[in-house]
Homo-oligomer: A and B are copies of this chain.
Amino acid sequence: MQLTRAAAEALDDADPLAGFRGRFAGTDDDGPVYLDGNSLGRMPLDTPAALARVAEQEWGRGLVGSWETWIDVGTRVGDLIGTGVLGARPGEVLLADSTSVDLYKLLVAAADARPGRDVLVCCADDFPTDRYVVAGVAAARGMTVREVPADVDEGLDPAVLAGALDERVAVVVLSAVAYRSGALADVAAVTAAARDAGALVLWDLSHAAGAVALDLAADGVDLAVGCTYKYLNGGPGAPAFLYVRRELQEELRQPIWGWFGQRDQFGMGPAYDPVPGIGRFAVGTPPVLAAAAVEVGVRLVAEAGMDRLAAKGRALTGLLVALADAHLAPHGVALASPRDPARRGSHVTLAHPHAWQLTRALVDRGVVPDFRTPDRVRFGPAPLYTRFVDVWDAVDRFRALLDDGGWTAYPAERSRVT
């Protein structure tokens, strides 16, 4: 691989997805090199008009009559995500609530479906909300949490997970792409191993959806949740999605018995009686305005196609790893992600003892990665709008920063928002 800027430009020239970049805000000027799409995706240029249309036409003019259109928004946008991004079948995905709330709903439902089993398994290096939700559910039910250790750089070893599976395990909660390292789990193999042990796996797809090619149907996935504000570009705090395999839906009942999951909802009958399909996992009134923004982002991902996006993601992160090896490693910056492109999502993490200061300094030099404890800098080149030259420029500025030591002027103390 050639590591010149000209070589990166040539990759951009040959990129079949290059045209998508111009459909996002902030890509037409001298703005920063944005490599934090793994935290908050860029805004599609069509989003403000979609918000304005729903607000002014549907709400402002249509008023309550627009519920004829809105009533199905959770399953309609859910299906767009399911079929366009996740490899799910229609009727298996719902847009609703936040990732944390959805995780809770499906975890309780899954634990209920495995009576007599008293262990929840999660990964010690998983994203905080995943670990906390598991801990909370376990505490409330008198269950035991079995935290499986993971290699912080390479992710969870399937053999280690297999060793944690026995007849006591009800549910395994696991991120398909690890938030810190970007390590990509073998979704099909883990799902099968857990099923063999009689357990259900609840996947968190937050860092995977829109970053890697998922095929939930083919992989036999039972349960999943995920976020839409990262690679799906749905906007800050956008509603989350949940997935339940069709064959499992009737068997499960989520714990928050809200009126939007009710059969003959406006009959307002005396007893909770959830609808048969994915709609039974709905709780309250769906977030109509926010869903309009999610829809715009998801349509762009579906139009680009997950196979092409995943391939470009591997190429972008591959270039980043090669450049880091060449220019950053000599300064003591270590790769903290899997080296094999087939084993990672669309972000790469680098480790350095002064990662916090380096991150702040990079932001001030027009490169936006993010910091993760204790000593990591994450670079998330979202394939929908990140160019190969962006990766090249980011590493080049990182190298310059290490050369000139400008980061040492930054305070070592972490701020509250990273």
Chain A residues packing against B (C-beta within 8 Å): 25-26, 31-32, 34, 36, 39-40, 42-43, 47-48, 51-52, 55-56, 58-61, 63-68, 70-71, 73, 97-101, 104, 108, 124, 127-129, 131-133, 135-137, 140, 227, 229, 235-240, 255-260, 262, 264-272, 283-291, 293, 363, 368, 370, 372-373, 414, 416-418
- Distance from A144 Cβ to chain B, minimum over Cβ atoms (Å): 15
Q: Are A237 and B285 in contact (CB under 8 A)?
A: yes
Give the 9 A-B CB pairs with smallest separation, nearest first.
Answer: A98-B284, A136-B257, A25-B60, A100-B258, A100-B284, A236-B288, A43-B60, A132-B257, A129-B259
Contacting pair B100 A259 (CB below 8 A):
yes
- Asked whether, in the complex, the Cβ of A98 is within 8 Å of the Cβ of B100, the reply is no
Q: Are B287 and A238 closer than 8 Å at their CB atoms?
A: yes
Give the residue of B42, B66, B133, B269 whose beta carbon is less than 8 angstroms from that of A63. Answer: B42
Query: With the chains together, A270 CA to B145 CA distance in Å?
Result: 13
Are B136 and A66 in touch, CB under 8 angstroms? no
**Chain B minimum-CB-distance residue to A227:** B285
- In angstroms, Cα B53 to Cα A43, docked, is 12
Q: Which residues of B contact A271 (CB under 8 A)?
A: 135
User: Would you call B417 and A71 a contact (CB within 8 A)?
Assistant: yes
- 19 CB contacts below 8 A, A to B, read A36-B63, A42-B60, A51-B51, A65-B363, A65-B368, A71-B416, A71-B417, A97-B97, A100-B283, A104-B256, A128-B262, A135-B272, A136-B255, A227-B285, A236-B285, A236-B288, A237-B285, A266-B416, A287-B290
Set of chain B residues within 8 Å of A284, measured between Cβ atoms:
97-101, 129, 237, 240
Given A127-B259, A133-B258, A140-B255, 19 new contacts (CB under 8 A)? A25-B59, A25-B61, A26-B60, A42-B63, A48-B56, A59-B236, A68-B417, A98-B258, A98-B287, A99-B284, A100-B260, A128-B268, A132-B262, A236-B288, A238-B289, A240-B284, A265-B416, A287-B290, A290-B290
Q: How far is the CA of A239 from the CA of B34 in the complex (A)?
A: 30
A223–B36 Cα gap in the complex (Å)?
39
Cα A272 to Cα B61 with chains together (Å): 45
- CB–CB B25/A56 < 8 A: yes
B43:A101 contact, CB within 8 angstroms: no
The complex places the Cα of A235 from the Cα of B290 at a distance, in Å, of 10
Q: Compute how far the CA of A372 lies from the CA of B68 in the bound complex, rounded to whole angstroms.
A: 17
Q: Are B43 and A51 in contact (CB under 8 A)?
A: no
Please name the residue on chain B nearest to A34 by beta carbon. B63
- Kindly identify which residue among B227, B267, B414 contacts A266, using a CB–CB cutoff of 8 Å: B414
Task: Report chain B residues within 8 Å CB of A418.
Answer: 266
A289 to chain B, nearest CB (A): 5
Contacts of A286 in B (CB 8 A): 237
Decide: A268 and B235 in contact? CB cutoff 8 A: no
CB distance from A209 to the nearest CB of B (A): 15
- CB distance A132 to B259 under 8 Å? yes
Checking B63, B257, B363 against A135 with a beta-carbon cut-off of 8 angstroms, the contacting residue is B257
Q: From A53, which residue of chain B is reached at the shortest CB distance?
A: B48
Bound complex: CA A289 to CA B34 (Å): 21
- Report the nearest B residue to A179, measured CB to CB: B268
The one of B26, B58, B97, B127 that contacts A61, using a Cβ cutoff of 8 Å: B26
Residue of B at shortest CB range from A138?
A: B257
Asked whether A47 lies within 8 Å of B55 as measured between CB atoms, the reply is yes
CB distance from A45 to the nearest CB of B (A): 8
* Closest-CB distance, A61 to chain B (whole angstroms): 6
In the complex, which residues of chain B have a beta carbon less than 8 angstroms from the beta carbon of A131?
A: 270, 272
Return A352 CB to nearest CB of chain B, in Å: 18
Docked Cα-Cα span, A59 to B418, in Å, equals 16
- Contact partner of A289 among B128, B235, B257, B414, CB < 8 A? B235
Partner of A101, one of B42, B58, B101: B101
Among A99, A100, A237, A368, which residue has the most Cβ atoms of chain B within 10 A?
A237
**With A34-B63, A59-B43, A289-B289 in contact, is A258–B129 under 8 Å at CB?**
yes
